[in-house]
A and B are shown apart, each in its own frame.
Chain A
Amino acid sequence: MTGTLMRMLLVEDERKVADFVARGLREERFAVDVAYDGEVGWEMASKRQYDVIILDIMLPGISGTEVLRRLHQQGGTVPVLVLTARDSLSDKAENFEAGADDYLTKPFAFAELLMRVRALLRRPPANRAGLLRVADLEVDRMTQQVRRGGKRIELTPKEFGLLEYLVAHAGEVLSRTMIVENVWDRSFVNLTNIVDVYVRHLRSKVDDPFPIKLIHTVRGAGYSVGEGKGP
């Protein structure tokens, strides 16, 4: 995060959820304002210019959907990430119609929230270039080739997809659920051991022959790729 401080509004009535989300975002150097109900949230949103709004749907006072609708009517262009414990289809459709830009269902991993917020800010730290690099590991998106220390490593398409996703988000902790959803699809969500199996295969090719390990397991949280011992 370079340049100006990103300012965001978090509207969430569950104080504990609001607290850890706000804390986590501040650690990531966001300036976070918190509102605990729809009334206050709407007031803050209409008075001040935010770069992104994180909005819970089930709010006392004015509902999140209503806040969305008002923001939209006002002609605001602030990207909104909606948080909800509901994920039935009609809810989703309703909120997207009202102007939500993205959607996150509770319980979510903070890393995923962070990733989505960054995506909304169109400033993803993820490297979008054709060539990704971590230490001496090179992942070429164009040619789908992987080299480490100049040595070519052969990967299957799925292994490449997994490595590409991990390396593109180097330095972040990626939960198994996030990995499954991005590299496979939602059908495999309850099959998180598929991630472990693929990571093991990937390690045997990418890490095992080299002294420095790049793929790290963060117990309980998922995996991360980086030079250090991981975050």
Chain B
Amino acid sequence: MNTRSLEFRLIGWYAGLLFGLFGILGVSTYWVLRTSLAGSLKENQLRRARQIGQLLREEIERRDEGGVGAQVQARYAPDLNDRFVRIARQDGGLVYLSPGPRSQSFDPAAVPPPEWTGEEERAREVPLVGGRRMLLAGHPVKMPGSGLYLVEVGAPMDEVQADLRHWLVFLLAMLPVVGGIALGGGYVLVKRALAPVDRISRSAERISSHNLSERLPVPHTGDELERLSVALNHMIERLDEAFQHSRRFVADASHELRTPLTVVRGELESFVTDEGLSAEWRERLGSALEEVDRLASIVEGLFAISRLDAGEAASEWVTFDLGRLVASTADQMALLAEDKKIQVACTGSKGVWVQGDRARMKQVVVNLLDNAIKYTPEGGAVSLKVEAGNGKAILEVADNGPGIPAEALTRVFERFFRVDKARSRQEGGAGLGLSIVKSICAAHHGGVDVTSEPGRGSRFRVELPSARPNAGNDPDENGP
């Protein structure tokens, strides 16, 4: 899992926040519960102590303190109710001490002695054996003549502690549930929030230099996503303009070069065909003419690419059999291969239909095959394969030549790129053949790529959308 992703961080923050809130809630409820439980226990004991104090007062007024024990026992039965009752005199005498409770939860004798603090009511927590605690409420009773009494009523805090423990257990049990909800909810929320971003990036992915006129869909939500789409669209527009400028420049430049080329070629030609010229001059001028020819073919190539890239309409758009086109083209070029003793194996299955401009598609086959033959040493082998599959028509041109080094592989379709500069220039290539192939494939809504193993050969693969065959509507057996 990518821990740096926006998704992960958002879910983390979300879950963390929810967890934190749950923690604060848990701690505060625990504290409130504890205070209120202890408070009500204290209130109850104090009330009971007041009642017993009243009882004591009445007994003393009637006779003496001696009878209060029996009264308390009869009315409140502290041993049955798990309560502790002690009535003490300030001079140290113990008037009454409740018997040990039935539940054996504490030993009355072990309860710490009374604390005298004057005539004010007071509750305190005292420790019992075994770490347990008891809430002890004291109610002083002042009797004129017989001095100060202290009525104490105590209750073990076990119940409160048990309630609090239950609450804690409940909180802990809820922890995984809350965690699950936090993570799951966070995931769903984040996914939903990021879905439009995903959509935008997928649409942006589809836009390349060949369809820069397309724009991203803009969600009219008035938020960051709308601004993002609009900003991206502006950027694509600027890119589009830049591309158009560069294409127009190439088209204009190659156009402007044509007239001077015509003049140079015309003048040189008139000399070359002049019979009065010496052989040496004829040779020199001929050499210059060859360069003019190459220059002209570069200009033509550039012009063709800029037109293809500008999406200029093809001269024809028909459905034709790619297999047949490849077979007939390979046939026409057989002598080129034969000349280098190269075996050309054409395993083109016929009946692979595509739609487009046959002349341009033929150019693709010619350029790829010419390339393969050019860079395969004498006695090598070149194979052509046409097949259909998955809604695609595929043409593969493979050779067993020296291959293309990995660092050059991504650049072979660039204009003027040559793997072996010295050699291809000698062969007369301008370095435009493969970029023309790429532009034609793109104009046919397809693509071309290359794989190569240095020392073992290269394989060019053209993929085009396949078309429905048209019944007997192929006017030309051998292609254009």
Contacts and interface: CB of A to CB of B under 8 A. Distances in A.
A220 B286 contact: yes
B266 A187 contact: no
B477 interface: no
Interface stretch (B114-122, B358-366, B454-462): B358-366
B267 interface: yes
A223 to B, nearest CB: 12
A110 B266 contact: yes
A185 B370 CA distance: 15
A219 B286 CA distance: 5
B265 A231 contact: no
A225 to B, nearest CB: 14
A186 B332 CA distance: 13
B359 A218 contact: no
B335 A198 contact: yes
B407 interface: no
B287 A89 contact: no
Contacts of B370: 191
B263 A158 contact: no
A16 B286 contact: no
A173 B296 CA distance: 19
B293 A220 contact: yes
B287 to A, nearest CB: 6
B333 interface: yes
Interface in A180-212: 184-194, 197-198, 200-201
A189 B366 CA distance: 10
Contacts of B363: 187
23 contacts: A17-B262, A17-B263, A105-B258, A107-B262, A107-B296, A110-B269, A110-B270, A158-B335, A173-B269, A185-B480, A186-B359, A187-B363, A187-B366, A193-B428, A194-B333, A197-B339, A219-B285, A219-B287, A219-B290, A220-B269, A220-B287, A221-B269, A221-B273
A107 B336 contact: no
Interface in B258-276: 258-259, 261-270, 272-273, 275
A190 B263 contact: no
Interface stretch (A19-27, A38-46, A131-139): A19-27
Contacts of A186: 359
Nearest to B430: A190
Contacts of A201: 335
Given A85-B258, A194-B333, A218-B273, A21 B266 contact: yes
- For chain B, the bracket of interface size reads 35 or more
B53 interface: no
Interface residues of A, number: 45
A190 B359 contact: no
Nearest to A186: B359
Contacts of A29: none
Nearest to A176: B293
Given A189-B297, A190-B297, A220-B288, A14 B272 contact: no
Interface string B280-299: 00110111111011001101
Contacts of A173: 269, 272-273
Given A107-B296, A220-B286, A190 B261 contact: no
A184 B331 CA distance: 12
Contacts of B430: 190
Contacts of B259: 14, 17, 85, 106-107
A187 B336 contact: no
A23 B270 contact: yes
Given A85-B258, A173-B273, A190-B301, A16 B263 contact: yes
Given A107-B262, A186-B359, A190-B297, A20 B255 contact: no
A36 B428 CA distance: 37
A98 interface: no
Interface stretch (B17-25, B84-92, B195-203, B307-315): B307-315
B383 interface: no
B362 A89 contact: no
Contacts of A86: 255
Interface in A91-109: 105-109
B289 A220 contact: yes
Contact of B480 (A24, A187, A219, A220): A187
Interface string B322-340: 0000000100110110010
